[in-house]
Structure 1
Amino acid sequence: MNKVLKEIINTLLYLLAVLCLTWLVIHFVGQRTEVEGSSMEATLSDGDNLIVDKISYRFRDPERFDIIVFPPGNKENTFFIKRIIGLPGETIQIDEQGNIYIDGEKLVESYGREIIDPDHIGLAADPIVLGDDEYFVMGDNRNNSTDSRYPTVGNIHRDEIIGRAWVRIWPLAKFGVLRHQ
């Protein structure tokens, strides 16, 4: 009986250790999230599963073109996935032709290839000055993305960022580290 009880206790302790380790990894290192919608097409597609790196921003600042994950407002267990366009202290504006300007210089990028329709310029029709801890984010599918151009999202504060989208794990045919630069 002692031997059986000892084996049960050891198994329970092992399971408890695995659960604790899993909880620590999910809360402090990385977590899985799923892309919902087409706002990041063609980089990410609806149904893609990603691993979010929650640790790197503890050691460095988010950079332009990083794909970040953050909660939209007060929605629990829901996350937006967008690309950083503007960094703290910069001024962002989008002209009537859909060109993005940062501090008066036209942004050269290879992600949002479509021309932004005048209907989708939003708040960025006027210059937006980012605060010391604010980021301006946009989806790669510029005409089908709710992002910093709209008051429902606005500028993202550093402490709102959950982490950086790091690896696509599903579908397996697209498995790999995500391109941020």
Structure 2
Amino acid sequence: MAKQKSEWFDWIKALLIAFALAFIIRMFFFAPIVVEGPSMLPTLEDGDQMIVNKFIYQITEPKRFDIVVFHASAQQDYIKRIIGLPGEHVEYENNSLYIDGAPVEDPFTRTDQNALYEQGTNDFLLEDLPGGYERIPEGQILVLGDNRMNSTDSRMLGVVPMDEIVGKTNLIYWPFDRIQLIGE
């Protein structure tokens, strides 16, 4: 009888440890997210399920063109691509990205006549966006969706504070036929 109680106790203890580890991993390291809407087409499709690396920006700085998840509101997270970093001036003119006045190749802006939708970027200056900044403030980033004509991003929301960033995402794990690493 004592052996049976000990076995049950061991099983309960193992399950509690497993649940605690799963909770810690999910809270602090990795979390799943589902892409909603067309704003990241063609890179990400509506319904793609991804893993968010929640700790990466604790050990490295964000990079231009990283795909990030951030709190757009208390109820909703958005997935967008980093375009501008702290201290930079960002401008789009004639579908060309300029950082501090110098052209930067943006492989996510395309205007293909045969495409089902246009991915061009309307002209804008950082100063024209909410906040009216001349340079992106420290601790903030500018984000855009890849489907620029159908994306709610920094052009409407303004720059995004780093403390609103949930993490970086680049792994699609579902649906099965779309499993891939993005941009690595």
Structure 2 match to 1:148: 154
- Is the CA contact 1:49–1:169 (under 8 Å) kept in the aligned structure 2? yes
Q: SS of 2:172's equivalent? A: strand
- Is the CA contact 1:29–1:55 (under 8 Å) kept in the aligned structure 2? yes
Take 1:43 and 1:178, find their aligned partners in 2: how far apart are those partners?
8
- 1:2-41, aligned counterparts within 5 Å? 2-41=2-41
Q: SS of 2:154's equivalent? A: coil
Show structure 2 runs of 5+ residues with no match. Answer: 111-118
- Is the CA contact 1:72–1:79 (under 8 Å) kept in the aligned structure 2? yes
Paired residue type of 1:147: D
Residue of structure 1 aligned with 2:103, choices 88, 103, 106: 106
Identity, in percent, stands at 36
- 1:14-163, aligned counterparts within 5 Å? 14-75=14-75, 78-95=76-93, 97-113=94-110, 114-117=119-122, 121=124, 125=128, 128=133, 129-150=135-156, 153-163=157-167
- Is the CA contact 2:136–2:159 (under 8 Å) kept in the aligned structure 1? yes
Take 1:57 and 1:84, find their aligned partners in 2: how far apart are those partners?
13
Deviation at 1:175, TM superposition (A): 0.7
Query: Normalised by the size of structure 1, how large is the TM-score?
Result: 0.87
Take 2:38 and 2:127, find their aligned partners in 1: how far apart are those partners?
21
Deviation at 1:173, TM superposition (A): 1.1
Matched length: 173
Deviation at 1:71, TM superposition (A): 1.0
- Is the CA contact 1:168–1:177 (under 8 Å) kept in the aligned structure 2? yes
Show structure 1 runs of 5+ residues with no match. Answer: none
Paired residue type of 2:176: L
- Is the CA contact 2:39–2:151 (under 8 Å) kept in the aligned structure 1? yes
Q: SS of 1:162's equivalent? A: strand
Query: Normalised by the size of structure 2, how large is the TM-score?
Result: 0.86
Q: SS of 1:168's equivalent? A: strand
Deviation string 1:104-156 (CA, Å, 9 cap, x unpaired) is: 123311112222246xx597646742001110000000000000001xx2211
